Amino acid sequence: MGQIYLVRSGQASFGSANYDQLSELGHEQARLLGRWFAKGGQPFHRMITGGMARHHQTADACLAQLARAQVDGAECLTDQGFAEFDHHEVMLRHCPEFADPGTLQELLARSGDPQRAAEQLFRAAMQRWMTGWHDDQYAEAWPDFRRRVVSALERLDQPDSKRTTIVFTSSGVIATVIQHVLGFQDFQVMEMTWKLANCAVTRLLHRPGEFGLGYLNNYSHLEQPGQPGVVTYR
């Protein structure tokens, strides 16, 4: 039986001019993940990134910790099917006034709990995106995103069922893969995206024509004694 490890990227640079970059903590999360894989000695036959900068940076920092024998001869690919949906567009379609970044920052600053306020805003934006009532307003509507992700997963369904693959991607992609594998409803995808930790690992078991869930959202490698604050969700 083959294995597919889905890795959410390390913490990105929320609030900066370029969100699609790992923060310093994000780099450290990826290194801790790599050390965990190194300790287990797990070899990888195929390594895939979703194509975004934070995916590549997470992969680079993680894989640099592995022994050569764990990655020798591995196939390295970029598959845009594992790229995240456009959070910026989803938010702007819900609140066009956020085209001015200062407007959002000001709103969050006025709230008593900026993180909670951001979560509520984004949940509402995702609900709008996923209803299907406004599909023509998005460059990539929810059904298109879901098809793209499922197609990317199905490209991993190859006859050699004993291969081990690691995919560096994002929370929306992982939640959508789990929806496909377990038959979740759309609203459960939305809720799951908020609960997947940065650099957490979700493991799928694979045999030709079949994917199953091994475990979901494992971040035990980040729970280091004396290092509070390493586990993040944004």
Report domain extents, the chain: 2-85+141-222, 86-139
Which residues have C-beta within 8 Å of that of residue 42, sequence separation ≥ 6? 70, 164
For the chain, how are helix, strand and coil distributed in percent, rounded to 5?
50, 15, 35
pTM comes to 0.92
End-to-end Cα distance, the chain: 33
In terms of DSSP bridges, do strands 210-218 and 201-207 run parallel, antiparallel, or are they unpaired?
Answer: antiparallel
DSSP code at position 139 = S
Amino acid at 163: R
The pLDDT profile of the chain, 234 residues, written as one tens digit per residue, is: 899 999 999 998 665 556 788 999 999 999 999 999 999 998 999 999 999 999 999 999 999 999 888 888 888 999 999 999 998 899 999 888 877 777 767 776 777 777 777 788 888 999 999 999 999 999 999 999 999 999 999 999 987 767 899 999 999 999 999 999 999 999 889 889 989 999 999 999 999 889 999 999 999 999 976 777 899 988
Strands 164-169 and 46-49: parallel
* H or E, element range at 12: none
To which H or E segment does residue 203 belong?
strand 201-207
Between CA 191 and CA 89 the distance in angstroms is 19
Q: In what order do the strands lie in the sheet with 2-8?
A: 75-78, 46-49, 164-169, 2-8, 201-207, 210-218
Distance CA 70, CA 130 (A): 40
- Position 72: which residue type? D
Helix or strand holding residue 144 (H, E): helix 142-154
CATH class of the region 2-85+141-222: alpha beta
d(CA 198, CA 216): 13
User: CA–CA separation, 203 vs 224, rounded Å?
Assistant: 21
Question: How many CB atoms sit inside 10 A of residue 124's CB?
Answer: 13
